[in-house]
Structure 1
Amino acid sequence: MALARRGSRRIVVDGVEYRWRAGRRHWCCDYDVRTLGYVVEDAARPGRTLVVETGRPVVLEPGPVPAEVVLPREVAAGIRAARSNGWTPGCDGSPFKLYLSAV
């Protein structure tokens, strides 16, 4: 499932352009809505998406507002970690899930 261009942000990591969006609900798979996460895909050839769960809580009242924001440097670090763990963004396939622990 490709990310909608509206609401997604552009990031360039190691010379490759990606699009990402903070996720507060199920974008493409079983991701825990109680924790803050984001979804990433290759901007040039959307294929296998990356779903990163940060482990940080989302405050659910009065609405789904993140307790903290996701910073671009965190997204870049998540992309690098996923690439080193086998994520191939240009290929087709089910979403690649990366679970980070809350620090």
Structure 2
Amino acid sequence: MAIPKKGSRLISVDGTAYRWRIRHKPTYCQGNGWGSLTYAVEPAGRRGRVLLVELPCSRSDAWLGERTMTVRPALVAATIRRALDRGWDPSQAGSAFTLNLTEGDLSDVMKGHPPSR
């Protein structure tokens, strides 16, 4: 599985290039606040295993007034590092690796703390 290049952004984390993308429009469930904010990451310029990051909040364009947040490159870089610590191997083929972050995980990721096991 690969993410479309159109609408994606490049980011370099610890010397490795990745491409990340948030879905352009919310799904019906995301729009109603039933689904979480998600984005996909993959190695740039080569095939590999996709990382799906699920955050504990809604999209900023959700139709209902749920808690939202903006995804910035610093968050993407931090979640890539967390996924690598939890076993994501971007060079490996296979189904997507899902990183489901809780409120506590999100706080730790943004502070730069090591993952809790």
TM-score bracket, normalised by the shorter chain, equals 0.7 to 0.9
Q: Which residue of 2 aligns with 1:71?
A: 72
CA deviation map 1:56-75 (0-9, x unaligned): 1235328xxx9322010000
Question: More strand per residue: 1 or 2?
Answer: 1
1:7 aligns with 2:7: yes
Q: Which residue of 2 aligns with 1:60?
A: 62
Structure 1: which 5+ residue stretches go unaligned?
26-31
Q: Which residue of 1 aligns with 2:89?
A: 88
- The count of residues paired between Structure 1 and Structure 2 equals 94
SS of the aligned residue for 1:56 comes to coil
Identity %: 43
Question: More helix per residue: 1 or 2?
Answer: 2
Q: Report the TM-score, using the length of structure 1 for normalisation.
A: 0.80
Pair 75,94 (structure 1): closer, same or farther in 2 beyond 3 Å: same
Determine the C-alpha separation between the residues in 2 that align with 1:33 and 1:20.
23
Q: Which residue of 2 aligns with 1:18?
A: 18
SS of the aligned residue for 1:35 comes to coil
| Structure whose alpha-carbon radius of gyration is higher | 2
Structure 2: which 5+ residue stretches go unaligned?
28-32, 108-117
Q: Please give the root-mean-square deviation of Cα atoms over the aligned residues, in Å.
A: 2.1
1:41 aligns with 2:42: yes
Determine the C-alpha separation between the residues in 1 that align with 2:89 and 2:40.
14
1:80 shift after superposition: 0.2
Q: Report the TM-score, using the length of structure 2 for normalisation.
A: 0.71
Which stretches of structure 1, 4 residues or longer, exceed 4 Å deviation after superposition? none
